[in-house]
Structure 1
């Protein structure tokens, strides 16, 4: 069951998080109309208490927040907005309203693993990922080996774009292998964390 925001008492806080980096960008306030406007336009829109009207973030600067998704907290009185920023978010010119740098895109891996999981559960004839799962664990493991060899070969040359392409291929196929083995990436990270702390 999808939880609905409770606007019966007025405005609710809306925390905006970069969907790729996981960094908290800003906080604003929304009413039902602001949320509906966000959903219909794809641009995060708040109710401005100082202007006493709807306000789309970026309407003056051009640094819009492209809406990705949202969640409502357990009490229905707070929103978490996933968005993609088009530039600095804070009016001061900083990446975030807490003057933090919005760098790193590791949160995208969590998003990608969700897509890979869905391709396994809901295979489509047009999906490359689903076709790998259909061929079985041996083929998935073989692809990881092939991509690892190709990455090593590119590492010996000085073609950064080719190296990055092979690195991306290896990472993707590694995530497919983890899904095929029903192993969470966090389980692998737990091993690294344990090694680091010992």
Structure 2
């Protein structure tokens, strides 16, 4: 099914399985595809070195393959991975960091997660988020406790605007904690989904 080009190659887009961030673009031939499938980690064909190369063979920044799929024309591969370390040889999390055009996108928890992850990995000077990561879990937990108290105060005053503001602060600090502990958004979603399934099962089994 795969449609290789005249050099026997196919472009492969690598995407983070959880965050959906596009990490890099590489090329594969049939041999590298076979190796990737058999070993469970990405293997590509380097056009400059004219040889196979396993991602992370020197840096240790390997990519565990979760899913591989072809586009509608079968001439582009999408590989969804669990990234160890960073994807780019420059040390950036993704190879796509040279911004050309940017529109303000609707807010999403995944976008916030990616932003916080960047602050954790690049250690941006002057960033409050980076400061929290540098201080560690004890500081992050203290802030969650403080902000949760502010939520209670706002709610007790029946101040909707203040309560929204403080809930947003709690959500932010909880996400910082998630990154500190290696917890993903999808893990939280899966946990909530499992509770929904259990709740529905209890309802179905409860006699009327």
Match of 2:2 in 1: 5
Give the corresponding residue for 2:160.
none
Deviations, residues 85-130 of structure 1 (Å, cap 9, x unaligned): 0011100000000139x9738xxxxxxxxxxxxxxxxxxxxxxxxx
Partner in structure 1 of residue 170 of structure 2:
none
**Residues paired across the two proteins, number:** 122
Q: Distance in 2 between matches of 1:20 and 1:97?
A: 17
Structure 2 residue aligned with 1:104: 113
Out of 73, 85, 88, the residue aligned to residue 87 of structure 1 is 85
**Aligned partners of 2:12, 2:57: CA distance in 1, in Å?**
18
Kindly indicate whether the alpha-carbon contact (under 8 Å) linking 1:21 and 1:103 is maintained by their aligned counterparts in 2.
no
**1:15/1:24 contact within 8 Å kept:** yes
Matched with 1:171 is 192
> Does the C-alpha gap of structure 1 residues 178 and 71 become closer, same or farther in structure 2, counting only changes over 3 Å?
farther
> What is the DSSP-based 3-state SS (H/G/I as helix, E as strand, rest coil) of the residue aligned with 2:14?
strand
2:38 maps to 1:17: no
Cα 1:68/1:103, change in 2 over 3 Å: farther
Identify unmatched segments of 5+ residues in structure 1. 106-154, 181-198
For normalisation by structure 2, the TM-score amounts to: 0.50
> Any stretches of 5+ residues in structure 2 without a counterpart?
99-110, 115-147, 150-173, 202-208
For 1:149, the equivalent position in structure 2 comes to none
The DSSP-based 3-state class of the residue aligned with 1:7 is coil
Runs of 4+ deviating beyond 4 Å: 167-170, 177-180
CA RMSD in angstroms comes to 3.6
Shift, 1:179, TM fit: 8.5
Cα distance in 2, alignment partners of residues 49 and 81 from structure 1: 19
Alpha-carbon distance between aligned partners in 2 of 1:35 and 1:103, rounded to the nearest angstrom: 33
What is the TM-score with the length of structure 1 in the denominator? 0.52
